[in-house]
A and B are shown apart, each in its own frame.
Chain A
Amino acid sequence: GENVEQHPSTLSVQEGDSAVIKCTYSDSASNYFPWYKQELGKRPQLIIDIRSNVGEKKDQRIAVTLNKTAKHFSLHITETQPEDSAVYFCAASRTSTSYGKLTFGQGTILTVHP
């Protein structure tokens, strides 16, 4: 089955700096890679996703890049703000057979210091 590794496990940055979180996956047939943000005590919520036919996707201050050859994808947050502090999870799935299931990385605790 699919295995997703996420690094780093914790990340501390100053407000205004950039933050990068990296994930690798094992199943070369995976074709959907969402990122979820989970604030303390809340539910995970989708912030951005990318499909395997796209190399990069941006949405305001966040972007995701995908390298299919190397089987890794990354989340980039620019101009970080204290409200970006949360746990971030990457995930992967092979949509043809996943039936909605996702394989998650271990999570990254991002702390943005004012």
Chain B
Amino acid sequence: NAGVTQTPKFQVLKTGQSMTLQCAQDMNHEYMSWYRQDPGMGLRLIHYSVGAGITDQGEVPNGYNVSRSTTEDFPLRLLSAAPSQTSVYFCASSRQGSFTEAFFGQGTRLTVV
């Protein structure tokens, strides 16, 4: 199993550009989430999904869209990139149920100039 795979690993965008961060998992996990990691702020939840066709907002959703058409994939879209979105983005997945481990992708380092 590859686990959780994110692409790309690095990306530089100009202000106003749009892009999609890809996330795929091969563990048949129902739950998937996107976090952003900024220095001194830990990981903050952007959006999450409890299954195909169901998504909801997390703590910092502004400027981001998500969709979940399949169990495996959970892409994160930046509609119009801003310098404040410079961050490291992590996708995570976990099994349905209580007390289940969250597995993280390797991260995408995004710089918006």
Contacts and interface: CB of A to CB of B under 8 A. Distances in A.
Contact of B48 (A6, A99, A107): A99
Interface stretch (A12-20, A45-53, A65-73, A75-83): A45-53
Nearest to B56: A99
Contacts, number: 63
Count class of interface residues, chain B: 20 to 34
A106 B100 contact: no
Interface residues of A, number: 26
A106 B37 CA distance: 10
B94 interface: yes
Given A43-B104, A43-B107, A100 B50 contact: yes
A49 B98 CA distance: 12
Given A100-B30, A101-B48, A104-B35, 15 more contacts: A4-B42, A34-B102, A43-B90, A43-B104, A43-B105, A43-B107, A44-B90, A44-B104, A89-B43, A99-B48, A100-B33, A100-B48, A101-B58, A102-B45, A105-B42
